[in-house]
Amino acid sequence: MLDPRVTERRNPRSAAIDLASPLEIVDIMNAEDRGVADAVASQRAQVARTIELVEETFRAGGRLFYVGAGTSGRLGVLDASECPPTFGSDPEMVQGIIAGGAPALVRSAESAEDRPDGARADLSAAGVRRGDFVLGIAASGTTPYVHAALEHARSVGARTGILACSPPPAGVVDAVDVAILPITGPEVMTGSTRLKAGTATKLVLNTITTGAMVRLGKAYGNLMVDLRATNVKLRDRAERLVMVTCGVSREEARAVLAASGGGVKLAIVMQKLGVDRATAEARLAAEGGVIRRVVPGAPPPVE
């Protein structure tokens, strides 16, 4: 009997990979990877809905939690950890929870995915509550840890979603607020979901957090204007952002950044409107943090 999980089926196109040359291995894998973006695109409406839900969650003071085991859990933790340096977001806004805890990030803890009680304990320890959004990530769609996490999240009033690359049980899909199901098909190596399923998962998570953060006003055009200038490279980037968007010298950029408390977004509004920090903060707050709703026109065109 065939395993109902698509990710556990054998791929006929890679059946002879054990006899393939290095170049043939590359070609086999590349050919399989070409379909991943299409699988993700098939879920465009569901991903967009998730962005809406996450934006609503953030604006109401809630948090986004990714929950998964193995590769799925690691990818969730990775995406969450990259939000603060990319968008200047509070580390509490997006959090990753992996079965087996921090040690599972660098050493396999496969048995942890079979422990529903572990999921309930982990979400309780993280303080998941009403107003949060919990996205369960389960490449196979059947991970007990993830299912238990979603049940617990619903029990405390949190919104929930599932991201899977093989159709999960109908009951799971019916119970969540949104289901993202990019079906990537059998892996090159049977059951190795770090491959196509992992790539699809990374693409979806990239889009969710980038989309939600953009909607919160953490971009001006395609410029990251909520970065935290915590080192020499980022201080230089902050100065250049103000220089480019406002057409000022580096000295002027440094001065307005200092007056803004180091905030690039505030500095841009202050410089363009000729207002002080308090006024810029009030204008941005009134417009949901989006620069373009406060400052007329687009940022300078790409050279």
Least confident of 147-156, 172-181, 189-198: 189-198
Q: What is the pLDDT of residue 1?
A: 47
The Cα–Cα gap between 114 and 119 comes to 10
**Per-residue pLDDT tens for 47-91?**
999 999 999 999 999 999 999 999 999 999 999 999 998 898 999
Query: Longest Cα pair distance anywhere in the chain, in angstroms?
Result: 71
- The reply to whether CATH 3.20.20.10 applies to domain 6-215 is no
Active site residue 82: yes
| pLDDT value of position 234 | 85
Q: Read off the DSSP letter of residue 187.
A: -
* 147 and 136 Cβ atoms separated by less than 8 Å: yes
Reported as a pLDDT band with limits 50, 70 and 90, residue 112 is low
Q: Which of 32, 113, 187, 281 is catalytic?
A: 113
The pLDDT value recorded for residue 115 is 80
Q: What is the pLDDT of residues 231-290, one digit of tens each?
A: 888 889 999 999 999 999 999 999 999 999 988 999 999 999 999 999 999 999 999 999
pLDDT at 128 > cutoff 80: yes
CATH topology of domain 219-293: Helicase, Ruva Protein; domain 3 (1.10.8)
Q: Which of 8, 52, 56, 82 is catalytic?
A: 82
Q: What global pTM score does this model have?
A: 0.91
Burial of 258 per CB tally in 10 Å (0-12, 13-18, 19+): exposed
Identify whether 303 is a catalytic site residue: no
Q: How far apart are CA 174 and CA 7, in angstroms?
A: 21
pLDDT > 60? residue 154: yes
Q: Read off the amino acid at residue 164.
A: A
Q: Where are the domains of the chain?
A: 6-215, 219-293
Query: What does the alpha-carbon distance between residue 250 and residue 153 come to, in Å, rounded to a whole number?
Result: 49
Q: Are 300 and 274 in contact (CB under 8 A)?
A: no
Distance of CA 42 to the CA centre of its chain: 18
Q: Name the CA radius of gyration of the chain, rounded.
A: 22
